[in-house]
Amino acid sequence: MKVAITSKSNSLNSMMDSRFGRAEWLAVYDTQGKETAFHKNEAKEQQSGSGPQAAQYLADLGVNKVMSGDFGPKAKKALESLGIEMVVLKDEQPIENIIEKFK
């Protein structure tokens, strides 16, 4: 399974970004290979529709589950229709702490 976490920077000790569509980075953890890859969220630069575009990008990467602080209405619709499970995390915390729970 691949889990995405929105991230403020591109290292394991960086904090979760609580925005989904406009997050700086997308950390993708593969539970089989136990590896984390950081992808720059290009959708962030869009004037509108960054949520659905980020969702589409996650689907392209084969992500099954995404964790963030909040999901906008358009992002929610898109993620739902793509079958990507959404998890809302209340506290901004380091990416490695979140990944730790999947190990």
Strand-by-strand arrangement of the 35-40 sheet? 35-40, 25-30, 2-7, 65-68, 85-88
Q: Which stretch binds other proteins (CB under 8 A): 6-14, 22-30, 42-50, 87-95?
A: 42-50
Task: By CB under 8 A, tell whether 53 contacts other proteins.
Answer: yes
Give the number of C-alpha atoms closer than 13 A to the C-alpha of residue 70, restricted to the C-beta side: 5
Nearest to 66 by CA among 51, 88, 45, 82: 88
Residues near 13 by Cβ (< 8 Å), separated by ≥ 6?
Answer: 94, 95, 96
Q: Of the two residues 32 and 48, which places its CB atom closer to other proteins in the complex?
A: 48
Give the CA radius of gyration of the chain: 12
Q: Which stretch binds other proteins (CB under 8 A): 5-13, 32-40, 53-61, 85-93?
A: 53-61
Task: By CB under 8 A, tell whether 64 contacts other proteins.
Answer: no
Q: What is the nearest approach in angstroms of other proteins to the Cβ of residue 46?
A: 6
Task: By CB under 8 A, tell whether 63 contacts other proteins.
Answer: no
Binding stretches for other proteins (CB under 8 A): 43, 46, 48-50, 52-53, 55-56, 59-60, 62, 74, 77-78, 81-82
